[in-house]
Amino acid sequence: MRVTKDQLVMLCDTARHPAAALIERRAAAAARRYGLLNAATEARFRAFNTLTPYVYPTATVERAVLCAQWCNWLFFFDDAHDERDADAGPGIDPSAKIREVVGALVDPDRADLALLRDPLVRYGLDFRAAAQRLAGPAWVARFLEHVDGYLLAGTLPACVHWVEGTVPGLDEYLVQRDHDSAVETAIDLIELAGDAVLPAEVHADPAMQGLRAGLVRTVALFNDIVSYPKEVLRQGNPNNRVHVLVAGGLGYADAVREALRLVNDSALACGRCGDLLIARHGDATPEVARFVAGARHWQSGHIVSSLTEPRYRAAESPFDELRRCGS
């Protein structure tokens, strides 16, 4: 099976932030101050820490570093726990730990004091406080709804499938993946990155819901294709669209083609909805155009980052770009 970037829909020309190196250094320094980096996580973190300059390429350095703090929070909560032998399963308790973290991030006043001293929880709460200063309480409320969905509707059922060794059904997996990809929270960061917090009427527009749904699906399922060698073949994680399709009876090559079709269809839907959103609200709310441009940067930047940086390089990858660099 051979795939190249040319087979992917790209919603815009990609651009890496001109201050990428500075953003990565400051983001790493912040994680180090909280004691989250160590010998076991340093190399993987460096590979992941490159994402923000690709997906928020027009943010100020201050806002880009703040966006990186949340993206890296997701790394420490999720990816770092995944780096273990396949037989060991996920590194977090699929019920207690996830529910504790949700409670602390959403309502820190009611959280256990010991939990509030946890470096990862403090890292997340400090992000929340800084984001509220820049984007306001309404933005934070929407963001926390998506954090809740990521952890309880996404991460929790994904961990249960991994612990129990079960493969989710096709429809079940798509709903789970929409949440456990955490892309909804990354879309919220587009407003933060671009100083483009949108009014409630724009968020209520069906075109906005279509843009978000298309962006979530195209990013999450593209990630499933590029991460298959790492997550499924090496770690034994059943939560992957290609794996779900293979378990349902498709051959590997056909499963990749089907996942790729959904990636491209979702990207096109995201693009169409972005055009509608600008047509309906762009004159009255100029921030809409910045937000839509940010969504397009996220879709295309995520692809380029994934195919350029080292985190998904593998000899078994279906992508020529990753297989050539694999080992």
Q: What tens digit of pLDDT does each residue of 190-199 get?
A: 999 999 999 9
CATH number for the domain running over 5-323: 1.10.600.10
The pLDDT, as a whole number, for residue 212 is 98
Residue 85, pLDDT score: 44
Is the four-CA dihedral 203, 207, 211, 216 of positive or negative sign? positive
Q: Round to whole Å and give the CA distance between 196 and 273.
A: 18
Helix ranges (DSSP H) in 19-136: 20-33, 42-48, 51-55, 61-74, 80-82, 96-106, 113-116, 119-135
Q: Which residues of the chain have pLDDT under 50?
A: 80, 83-86, 326-327
**Nearest Cα to Cα of residue 278 among 187, 198, 190:** 198
Output the CA–CA distances (angstroms, integers) from residue 228 to 101, 123, 319, in the order listed: 28, 29, 11
Q: Mapping DSSP to helix (H, G, I), strand (E, B) and coil, where does residue 256 land?
A: helix
pLDDT for res 327 = 44
Domain ranges of the chain: 5-323
Kindly report the number of other CB atoms within 10 A of residue 106's CB atom.
16
Q: Which residues make Cβ contacts (< 8 Å) with residue 237, sequence separation at least 6?
A: 82, 90, 162, 231
Q: pTM value? A: 0.93
**pLDDT for the residue numbered 154:** 94
Taking the C-alpha atoms of residue 67 and residue 157, their distance in angstroms, rounded to an integer, is 26
For 11-35, the pLDDT digits (tens) are 999 889 999 999 999 999 999 999 9
Output phi, psi for 145, to 5 deg. Answer: -60, -40
Report the C-alpha gap between 293 and 297 in whole angstroms. 6
pLDDT of the residue at 90: 60
Cβ-in-10-Å burial (0-12, 13-18, 19+) of 272 comes to middle
